[in-house]
Amino acid sequence: MKDFIEHKEHHLHLENGLSEGTKSGIPKIVLAGNPNVGKSLFFNYLSGTYVDVSNFPGTTVSITKGVYKNSEVYDTPGVYGVSSFNDEEKVARDIILESDIVINVVNSLHLERDLFLTLQLIDMGKKISVFLNFNDELKKRKIVIDAEKLSDLLGVPVYETSAVKKMGFEKLDEAIANAKVGIQPDALHHVLHETLNRVGSQAEALLIIEGDEIIAERHSVPCGSGDEREIIYIERRNRVNEIVSTVEREDSSKGLFFNALGKYSLNPITGIPILLVMLTVLYFFIGDFVSQRVVNFTEQTIGKKYFEYYLKSFVANYTPSEISVTLKDEQDPSKKLRVYSFKENLNENQKVKQEFDHASRDENAIVDFHFPNPFVKLLFGEFGIISMTITYLVFLLLPLVAAFYFAMALMEDSGYLPRLATMLDRMMNKIGLNGRAVIPIMLGFGCVTMATITTRLLGSEREKTIATAILQYVIPCSAQLAVIAVLLSGAGVVPLLIYVTVIFSTLIVISTTLNKFLPGQSTPLLIDLPIMRLPKLDNAFKKTFFRTYGFMKEASLWFFVGALLVGLLDVTGMLVVFQNILAPVTVHWLKLPKEAATAFVMGVVRRDFGAAGLFGLNLAPMQITVALITITLFVPCIAAFIIMIKERGMKEGLIIWFSAWIFAFLIGGVVAQIII
């Protein structure tokens, strides 16, 4: 791949002046721009498929490729310049180096910032067209940009668009056809001359002079010094400032509501109340409305009462079963339990069947099916791979995960998330992170696996280690959180307080300890704050849909694997053996029923399975508290574990994983000894 790029670049230089695209077969169109400029919306328009559009630096890590007419279209991570300071920049740099045409999307509101990249692309000698996005916001703020003059100064076509309103996309064809190499300063050629002769590509020569060690190594030429880069950067910065002062005019700065909200969200006096309001709204939406009301309906009514009942009744038509029906009677508080046995199948005795049908269709009836056949039990029993997994996946996880992603999408699209990062910066400093770490931590409440991947965007190895440790030890993922919320809300206020205090203290102790003893230094915050704007609902819905879909696709397999594992343990009687092995710890140290061990065994496979395993145990409020503390601190699910090993290496991953066992049982046990 690398050789191919070099070869192509070399080839192109030899035939200088010829159209680049036609030489290598299929032309490559690359979308490039700073973070949050709306590149992805352009990509959607060109390729016809939806990709994640997001308002926070660092969320589009992977490359997205599509096809438009007879060209290939690539989306790149948002970057402020072409270089290799982090993974995103390296990815963007390589795609841009390979490109034939670059469509540079620019945020009109931040011309000074965005044109830096534009000029760098021009200095690289790339054929580009510029799109001035956010035209609607520009008009609202009464700012005028002279696009024609800008086009003259840059020497490349400039178009005005408003991507969210889908205005100006029709000019893309023209932009691709007319893309040009822009006007480069004369001095640049003197600087580049020597390196250019050696590497053969202006783009790469420039990056080498600007100190890109990787590119220099590829050509085995000496890399430019930091001083040369600084001189070029300052010169480029001055050119940008000059251009902006010529083309931009501002009539008056009108006090827009969202501008004001953006400002107030950062003021210490108003910012904290705004933060609290946001969290409260989030809590009522996810914690109360969705995880209580919606899930209660989907899981208990649709899942248990209809889906599982009909599924199991259907299965019982073909296999022996023992069905117990518990009827709650208002007059008689003692439960009425009836057991129906079918030696052959449901239809062997029509009279008993009718009785059963009548009893089981009662409003308050709780129906439990038991299948003696081990294979049937494996598929449709208590931990049935088909029955239980589908209920949890579709009727419990799905609504919760979707709700979480929706809330996250709204926060991202409104521009609040970076402000939240700024507000929390100093707090995060105390635990060795900076404000940016709110992204992985908050994503962790959605899915720890996904969040562990995003720790990549943090500035140093020690920050990545600290964030990963926090995620894997203490942050419950949305699926687990849902189960926790349901269990805790039934337990009362005191258990909730104990739970939150213990988990939070653990977080503080672990992270401050790591901060103190890990070598190196954490990087300080440096973050660009995008404009606050009302999030577009359709975009938020799309984002929710695609993320939820992605999550379900990834999670489902592990759910079935987990259910299969536990099902096998159950059928073979191994579950009882495990429970007995763990029993002394579970019963004496944690003071829980020995069946709670099932929850821990399942927790290794998926965290939420672990918490969900506590549902049927009829625990006392304080037992619930201890069980949930232990389960929360317990090891992450298999998916998160694998990703952690991949991201942080075998040694660090295993240390974190095994110590999670110790922390969970140690802290859970200490709490149990105190409160039970």
Question: What is d(CA 597, CA 582) in angstroms, rounded to the nearest whole number?
Answer: 6
From 40-48, 417-425, 493-501, 625-633, span contacting other proteins (CB under 8 A): 417-425
Among 226, 372, 492, 584, binds other proteins (CB under 8 A): 226
Using CB under 8 A as the binding rule, whether residue 422 contacts other proteins is answered as: yes
Using CB under 8 A as the binding rule, whether residue 525 contacts other proteins is answered as: yes
DSSP 8-state symbol, 637 = P
Question: What is d(CA 422, CA 428) in angstroms, rounded to the nearest whole number?
Answer: 10
Shortest Å distance, C-beta 157 to other proteins: 24
List all residues 6 or more positions away from 460 whose beta carbon is below 8 Å from its beta carbon: 520, 521, 522, 523
Among 17, 255, 268, 333, binds other proteins (CB under 8 A): 268
| CB of 23 or CB of 426, closer to other proteins | 426
Return the H-helix or E-strand segment holding 271: helix 268-282
Using CB under 8 A as the binding rule, whether residue 338 contacts other proteins is answered as: no
Among 67, 144, 187, 234, binds other proteins (CB under 8 A): 234
Shortest Å distance, C-beta 259 to other proteins: 9
| CB of 299 or CB of 425, closer to other proteins | 425
Judging by beta carbons within 10 Å of its beta carbon (0-12, 13-18, 19+), is residue 380 exposed, middle or buried?
Answer: buried
Angle among Cα 573, 311, 314 to the nearest 5 degrees reads: 100
| CB of 25 or CB of 255, closer to other proteins | 255
| CB of 109 or CB of 286, closer to other proteins | 109
Amino acid identity, residue 602? M
Among 36, 60, 64, 83, binds other proteins (CB under 8 A): 83
Question: What is d(CA 559, CA 447) in angstroms, rounded to the nearest whole number?
Answer: 14
Among 87, 174, 217, 230, binds other proteins (CB under 8 A): 230
Token pair 């269990």 is found at 487
Using CB under 8 A as the binding rule, whether residue 144 contacts other proteins is answered as: no
Among 179, 243, 421, 441, binds other proteins (CB under 8 A): 421
Beta-bridge mates of residue 366: 326
Report residue 310 as tokens: 């009909």
Q: Which residues of 145-179 are buried (b: 16+ CB within 10 A; e: fewer)?
A: bebeebbebbebbbbbbbbbeeebbebbeebbeeb
Q: What is the largest CA-CA distance in the chain?
A: 98
| CB of 185 or CB of 550, closer to other proteins | 185
| CB of 17 or CB of 519, closer to other proteins | 519
Shortest Å distance, C-beta 265 to other proteins: 10
CA 613 to centroid of chain Cα atoms = 26
Site for other proteins in 2-61 (CB under 8 A): none
Shortest Å distance, C-beta 85 to other proteins: 6
Using CB under 8 A as the binding rule, whether residue 644 contacts other proteins is answered as: no
Rounded to 10°, the helix 226-247/111-123 angle is: 120
| CB of 97 or CB of 138, closer to other proteins | 138
Cβ contact 202:124 at 8 Å? yes
| CB of 111 or CB of 316, closer to other proteins | 111
From 45-53, 70-78, 81-89, 306-314, span contacting other proteins (CB under 8 A): 81-89
- Closest listed residue to residue 514, CA positions, set 457, 553, 575, 471: 471
C-alpha dihedral over 175, 181, 185, 190, to 10 degrees? 160
| CB of 81 or CB of 621, closer to other proteins | 81
| CB of 84 or CB of 539, closer to other proteins | 84
Other C-beta atoms within 10 Å of 449: how many? 24
Shortest Å distance, C-beta 371 to other proteins: 60
From 76-84, 92-100, 583-591, 642-650, span contacting other proteins (CB under 8 A): 76-84
Beta-bridge mates of residue 32: 104
Question: What is d(CA 211, CA 205) in angstroms, rounded to the nearest whole number?
Answer: 10
Using CB under 8 A as the binding rule, whether residue 285 contacts other proteins is answered as: no
Q: Which residues of 586-601 are buried (b: 16+ CB within 10 A; e: fewer)?
A: beebbbbbbbbbbbbb
Shortest Å distance, C-beta 523 to other proteins: 8
| CB of 390 or CB of 442, closer to other proteins | 442
Among 35, 224, 381, 418, binds other proteins (CB under 8 A): 418
- Determine the size of the site formed for other proteins (CB under 8 A): 40
Question: What DSSP assignment string belongs to 173-204?
Answer: HHHHHH-EE----HHHHHHHHHHHHHH--HHH
| CB of 107 or CB of 478, closer to other proteins | 107
- Closest listed residue to residue 113, CA positions, set 230, 206, 240: 240
Among 266, 571, 583, 666, binds other proteins (CB under 8 A): 266
| CB of 268 or CB of 519, closer to other proteins | 268
Shortest Å distance, C-beta 8 to other proteins: 28
Cβ contact 262:529 at 8 Å? yes
DSSP 8-state symbol, 475 = P
Cβ contact 184:154 at 8 Å? no
From 66-74, 267-275, 490-498, 652-660, span contacting other proteins (CB under 8 A): 267-275
- Closest listed residue to residue 391, CA positions, set 298, 276, 314: 298
| CB of 435 or CB of 636, closer to other proteins | 435
Question: What is d(CA 243, CA 449) in angstroms, rounded to the nearest whole number?
Answer: 45
Judging by beta carbons within 10 Å of its beta carbon (0-12, 13-18, 19+), is residue 100 exposed, middle or buried?
Answer: buried
| CB of 222 or CB of 226, closer to other proteins | 226
Using CB under 8 A as the binding rule, whether residue 370 contacts other proteins is answered as: no
Site for other proteins in 526-545 (CB under 8 A): 526-529, 531
Shortest Å distance, C-beta 96 to other proteins: 15
CA 91 to centroid of chain Cα atoms = 19
Shortest Å distance, C-beta 529 to other proteins: 4
| CB of 134 or CB of 404, closer to other proteins | 134
Question: What is d(CA 650, CA 211) in angstroms, rounded to the nearest whole number?
Answer: 33
Question: What is d(CA 89, CA 96) in angstroms, rounded to the nearest whole number?
Answer: 10
DSSP 8-state symbol, 28 = E
Shortest Å distance, C-beta 254 to other proteins: 12
| CB of 435 or CB of 567, closer to other proteins | 435
Question: What is d(CA 655, CA 220) in angstroms, rounded to the nearest whole number?
Answer: 39
The site map against other proteins for 424-443 (x = CB under 8 A) is -xxx-x----xx--------
Using CB under 8 A as the binding rule, whether residue 584 contacts other proteins is answered as: no
From 17-25, 47-55, 224-232, 645-653, span contacting other proteins (CB under 8 A): 224-232
Using CB under 8 A as the binding rule, whether residue 407 contacts other proteins is answered as: no
Among 18, 19, 62, 85, binds other proteins (CB under 8 A): 85
Using CB under 8 A as the binding rule, whether residue 110 contacts other proteins is answered as: yes
Report residue 311 as tokens: 């599924």
Cβ contact 202:80 at 8 Å? no
The residues that touch other proteins, with contacts defined as CB under 8 A, are 80-81, 83, 85, 109-110, 112-113, 116-117, 141, 226, 229-230, 233-234, 237, 262-263, 266-268, 271, 418, 421-423, 425-427, 429, 434-435, 524-529, 531
